Chains A and B, each alone.
Chain A
Amino acid sequence: MQSAVDLARSRQPPKMRRRAKRRAAPWLITAAVFVSLLALLPLAFIVWIAVQTGWETVSALVFRPRVGELLVNTTLLVLLTVPIAIVLSVALAWLTERSDLPGARLWAWLCVAPLAIPAFVHSYAWITMVPGLHGLWAGVLVSVIAYFPFLYLPISAALRRLDPALEDAAAALGLGPWWVFWRVVVPQLRLAICGGSLLVGLHLLAEYGLYVFIRFDTFTTAIVDQFQSTFNGPAANMLAGVLVTCCFVLLGLEVLVRGEERYARVGSGAARHQPRTSLGHATIPSLLLLVLTTLLALGVPFVTIGRWLVAGGAEVWRLDEIGLALGQTLFLALAGALLATVAAMPMAWISIRAPGPLQRLLEGCNYIVGSLPGVVIALALVTITVRIALPLYQTLFTILVAYALMFLPRALVSLRASIAQAPVELERAASSLGRRPLNALWSTTIRLSAPGAAAGMALVALGIMNELTATQMLAPNGTRTLAMAFWSYSGEIDYASAAPYAFIMVAMSLPLTWLLYVQSKRMAGR
């Protein structure tokens, strides 16, 4: 699972890359390499299993009609969802950033708020409202609604940053407003669209709960099914292998489409403030689009949860049970966030203070692993622990490691941004005043990057709180997080009992989503 902040990964300011190289402390490099190797473990395992299983079994498991069916399903889902989400997000972003739409700021926040609702809660809301909903188009509908903010965030940030002088220049060269948008604005949104599409695509590949509700089979649902029926047989592992290949195809496509181009503003001086286009007669239809989007993306979940809460009355609030789930969720979220942040620290420090080929390689490893579906990482850790270190199977340690691997990029991005703002001179001053390297680092850079680290931790915690698949597969027996409790109740069609859990998850995610919104604005503005 990724977040919008991961988008900033490959857009490191060139200034930082050009900064004079500095030898990193060896222990820091060792730590970073160790973390990256650990991160590569799931991937290595899939390859290893494939080799061990032998080509004949592998090809028998991979080249069969069922896999083809899943491939068609998954491909169609991505090919339909991503373009619709792009068009919707560009329209919403333009309306909220560049038009005189009444209440633009409020609408901008409402366009991000759907992120606070876990995808499977979206799906739950829809299926209880329209029980017959299922299949590809249902999948496309709910996916667009659940994931379009991942595109909206970077696109609106990019729109805000565009130099209006370029649009003026195009108009002076004889282009009408629509042509200006198509030939000047859209090309400059390309980076944002590519990054956002990648995120949406990876989420589509990784999501489990959403598609189970509407009975739409993807690789992820098939892997979980397979895991539940045959535990960690080769079939599940081979499906995971195909899924990983799909992820790599998406990553590669994004690199290809994005290209090596620079869309930054050419020239010096501050960009003029952008004028907002007057909508005139189009105000009402534009407002309708936003109202409709908000109704679908926020209204449906909130109304459904509210309805079930009312229908369930006081008895669905089994406080002891809910309190336990809340406590366990918070504990896992905080512990996982802490581990991810600590693990990201050496990497973040090296990428700012001593950038070089090694750092880029390590960072690339972490990025690729971060883009793997949770189910793949969980499956790999299950296999590893069962085969090699059985005592670690379904322990707190393993689930926390899984969280750290999955959410490392989130922690990394926040940390890197804040370390970049802590001047290296302070670290040197501390060293020259007699502090040992670790102590010098602790008393300067780490202290100063604390706010960024906290933001990163919050984002990791958000991810863990709403995580379902890996938690189900790896958590110690008896663990029951909010997401798990929600899932088991709604699996028993006890929608009313599931509602309080959905409500708590949404309520706790909302402030964190705000953080994500603010941070992505800042990232894209770099």
Chain B
Amino acid sequence: MTSLEIRDLHKHYGPVAALAGVDLDVASGSRTAIVGPSGCGKTTLLRLIAGFEAPDEGRIVLDGEVLANGGTAVPAHRRGIGVVAQDGALFPHLTISDNIGFGLGRGEDKRTERIIELAYIVGLDKAILKRRPHELSGGQQQRVALARAMAMKPRLMLLDEPFSALDTGLRASMRKAVAELLEAAGITTILVTHDQAEALSFAAQVAVMREGKFSQVGTPRDLYLKPKDRMIAEFLGDAIILPASISGGFANSPLGRIAVDTNDSRDVARIMLRPEQIALKRTSREGMSGTSDMLFGEVTESEFAGSTCTIAVRLLNNADPPDAAAIGNKPLILRKSGMDAPSVGEIVRLTVSGKAHVFA
């Protein structure tokens, strides 16, 4: 069932178009991530959904209720949408307990019990309730902000880069905890972020945003493996993009004959591989001879960085691609496990697993 429905949303700031026609459907109880570089309009979109600003054109419908249509909009305080801002936006003049209970009525039944319950749900210690926001760590502040927003039992929860101010380690665990929490509460959630890994791991639906529009919307796996264009591919992770000719479900590329995800035939095409699809196996110059259908390379650089090792491999035998000059002697950059990585000068055999993606 669709919970949130956005149609053709436009928003201008002076001559600048922050949103230039956005459409989005979010299923009830699901998690959606909106990802894009800074300035792409994702925060504007969030502010329009929250009701902090009104759109110039377009509709926002939540559970059948029209929140915004054309220039008219329901104000934020009547929408029942929870928001967790980048740095929590906790009220510095109130205690943690009062922050969490801010949206609850003063005389509300069992207010204190509810606050304690919410604190428990987000994993905050009861002792913290009497403190002030500035006495808390960044992660704790985010939990308070989440509890505060959940107190309202919102129909929809908007998360505006809530993890970006946290340390790397804490970020991943908070992300997981929040996802589980909202899932358990059955709250539809939209996360806005500029971190692609965060978007891919958090949500069931990911929308990539660029210049005020969604350039692609889909499941994380689809977006990662079948991006619509080169920019999306590179935004979502490292990508190896090669010229190729394709026919019959295979491509002829500098890396040889590779299975592709389409049955089209084209003489000139671009295919994309994720670096993790390419496996390296140590061999020697002697081992290269006489095996024309195999692909070999020489390690030209090896940069050790703890758990990973970034390796540059120069291909030694090209399988005669249609425009081999394009790739020339440009080495492939691969990130491999730091354990047992080949060192500079070693000869490796390259094998490709899975299918390559063909750009339309």
CA distance A397 to B83 in the complex (A): 64
Query: What residues of A have a CB within 8 angstroms of the CB of B165 in the complex?
Result: 267-269
A174 in contact with B89 (CB, 8 Å):
no
Query: What residues of A have a CB within 8 angstroms of the CB of B89 in the complex?
Result: 163, 165-166, 168-169, 266-267
Question: Interface 1/0s, chain B 142-155, versus A by CB < 8 A?
Answer: 00010011011000
A169 in contact with B93 (CB, 8 Å):
no
Candidates B75, B76, B77, B91; contact of A166 at CB < 8 Å: B91
Candidates B80, B87, B94; contact of A174 at CB < 8 Å: B80
Summed over the interface, the residue pairs from A and B with CB atoms below 8 Å come to a total of: 98
B78, closest chain A residue (CB): A174
Contacting A at CB under 8 A, from B57-91, are: 75-83, 85-91
A264, closest chain B residue (CB): B92
Interface check B51, CB cutoff 8 A: yes
CA distance A267 to B139 in the complex (A): 11
Query: What residues of A have a CB within 8 angstroms of the CB of B103 in the complex?
Result: 173-175
CA distance A168 to B87 in the complex (A): 13
CA distance A165 to B158 in the complex (A): 14
Query: What residues of B have a CB within 8 angstroms of the CB of A264 in the complex?
Result: 92, 134
Contacting B at CB under 8 A, from A261-297, are: 261-269, 275
A188, closest chain B residue (CB): B93
B218 to chain A, nearest CB (A): 29
CA distance A180 to B77 in the complex (A): 10
A500 to chain B, nearest CB (A): 50
Interface check B132, CB cutoff 8 A: yes
Interface check A300, CB cutoff 8 A: no
Candidates A176, A184, A188, A262; contact of B134 at CB < 8 Å: A262
A261, closest chain B residue (CB): B93
A266 in contact with B149 (CB, 8 Å):
no
Query: What residues of B have a CB within 8 angstroms of the CB of A184 in the complex?
Result: 91
B148 in contact with A173 (CB, 8 Å):
yes
A268 in contact with B87 (CB, 8 Å):
yes
Interface check B102, CB cutoff 8 A: yes
Query: What residues of A have a CB within 8 angstroms of the CB of B132 in the complex?
Result: 261-262
Question: Interface 1/0s, chain B 135-178, versus A by CB < 8 A?
Answer: 00010010001001101100000000000010000000000000
B141 to chain A, nearest CB (A): 7
CA distance A265 to B93 in the complex (A): 10
Query: What residues of A have a CB within 8 angstroms of the CB of B236 in the complex?
Result: none
B309 to chain A, nearest CB (A): 33
A173 in contact with B88 (CB, 8 Å):
no
Interface check A423, CB cutoff 8 A: no
Q: How many residues of B contact A (CB 8 A)?
A: 37
B92 in contact with A173 (CB, 8 Å):
no
A183, closest chain B residue (CB): B102
A463 to chain B, nearest CB (A): 34
A200 to chain B, nearest CB (A): 23
A168 in contact with B86 (CB, 8 Å):
no
CA distance A172 to B86 in the complex (A): 15
Interface check A310, CB cutoff 8 A: no
Interface check B133, CB cutoff 8 A: yes
CA distance A450 to B201 in the complex (A): 57
A190, closest chain B residue (CB): B93
B169 to chain A, nearest CB (A): 18
B92 in contact with A168 (CB, 8 Å):
no
Interface check A170, CB cutoff 8 A: yes
Question: Interface 1/0s, chain A 155-174, versus B by CB < 8 A?
Answer: 00000000101101111111
Interface check A323, CB cutoff 8 A: no
CA distance A275 to B93 in the complex (A): 22
B50, closest chain A residue (CB): A172
A262 in contact with B92 (CB, 8 Å):
yes
B77 in contact with A176 (CB, 8 Å):
yes
Of A163, A267, A269, most B-chain CB atoms within 10 Å: A267
CA distance A188 to B50 in the complex (A): 24
CA distance A165 to B145 in the complex (A): 12
Interface check A187, CB cutoff 8 A: yes
Known: A172-B83, A173-B152. A266 touches B90 (CB 8 A): yes
Interface check B52, CB cutoff 8 A: yes
Contacting B at CB under 8 A, from A48-83, are: none
CA distance A196 to B134 in the complex (A): 25
Query: What residues of B have a CB within 8 angstroms of the CB of A269 in the complex?
Result: 86-87, 165
Candidates B50, B75, B92, B151; contact of A265 at CB < 8 Å: B92
A166 to chain B, nearest CB (A): 5
Known: A175-B77, A262-B134. A169 touches B141 (CB 8 A): no
Known: A262-B134, A264-B92. A172 touches B82 (CB 8 A): yes
Counting contact residues on chain A (CB < 8 A from B), the size range is: 20 to 34
Query: What residues of A have a CB within 8 angstroms of the CB of B133 in the complex?
Result: 266
A193 to chain B, nearest CB (A): 13
A101 to chain B, nearest CB (A): 19
B43, closest chain A residue (CB): A272
Candidates A165, A173, A188; contact of B149 at CB < 8 Å: A173
B349 to chain A, nearest CB (A): 48
Query: What residues of A have a CB within 8 angstroms of the CB of B151 in the complex?
Result: 173
A171 in contact with B51 (CB, 8 Å):
yes
CA distance A265 to B148 in the complex (A): 18
B81 in contact with A172 (CB, 8 Å):
yes
Of A168, A170, A177, A190, most B-chain CB atoms within 10 Å: A168
B242 to chain A, nearest CB (A): 40
B152 in contact with A174 (CB, 8 Å):
yes
CA distance A268 to B167 in the complex (A): 13
B296 to chain A, nearest CB (A): 49
B83 in contact with A169 (CB, 8 Å):
yes
CA distance A275 to B76 in the complex (A): 15
Known: A176-B77, A266-B87, A268-B87. A171 touches B134 (CB 8 A): no
Contacting A at CB under 8 A, from B162-219, are: 165
B164 to chain A, nearest CB (A): 9
A365 to chain B, nearest CB (A): 31
Known: A261-B93, A262-B132. A172 touches B88 (CB 8 A): no
B85, closest chain A residue (CB): A165
CA distance A180 to B78 in the complex (A): 13
Known: A264-B134, A266-B134, A267-B88. A170 touches B102 (CB 8 A): yes
A272 to chain B, nearest CB (A): 9
CA distance A184 to B92 in the complex (A): 9
CA distance A173 to B77 in the complex (A): 6
A189 to chain B, nearest CB (A): 10
CA distance A165 to B79 in the complex (A): 17
B87 in contact with A267 (CB, 8 Å):
yes
CA distance A278 to B138 in the complex (A): 34
Query: What residues of A have a CB within 8 angstroms of the CB of B141 in the complex?
Result: 266-267
CA distance A141 to B154 in the complex (A): 49
A168 in contact with B134 (CB, 8 Å):
no
CA distance A168 to B91 in the complex (A): 11
CA distance A171 to B74 in the complex (A): 12
A172 in contact with B92 (CB, 8 Å):
no
A171 in contact with B85 (CB, 8 Å):
no
Query: What residues of A have a CB within 8 angstroms of the CB of B50 in the complex?
Result: 168, 172
A168, closest chain B residue (CB): B52
CA distance A166 to B148 in the complex (A): 12
Query: What residues of B have a CB within 8 angstroms of the CB of A263 in the complex?
Result: 92-93
A266, closest chain B residue (CB): B133
CA distance A175 to B102 in the complex (A): 9
Q: Pull 30 A–B residue pairs with CB atoms less than 8 Å apart, ordered by A.
A: A163-B89, A165-B86, A166-B89, A166-B91, A168-B50, A168-B52, A169-B83, A169-B89, A170-B102, A172-B51, A172-B76, A174-B152, A176-B75, A176-B77, A177-B77, A180-B77, A183-B102, A262-B92, A262-B134, A263-B92, A264-B92, A264-B134, A266-B87, A266-B92, A266-B134, A267-B86, A267-B87, A268-B87, A268-B138, A268-B165
Give me the interface of A with B, judged by CB distance under 8 Å: 163, 165-166, 168-177, 180, 183-184, 187-188, 190, 261-269, 275
Give me the interface of B with A, judged by CB distance under 8 Å: 47, 50-53, 75-83, 85-94, 102-103, 132-134, 138, 141, 145, 148-149, 151-152, 165
Kindly list the 4 A-B residue pairs having the minimum CB-CB distance in the complex, ordered from nearest: A267-B87, A173-B103, A171-B76, A165-B89
Known: A168-B50, A261-B93. 4 other contacts (CB 8 A): A171-B51, A171-B75, A172-B83, A174-B78
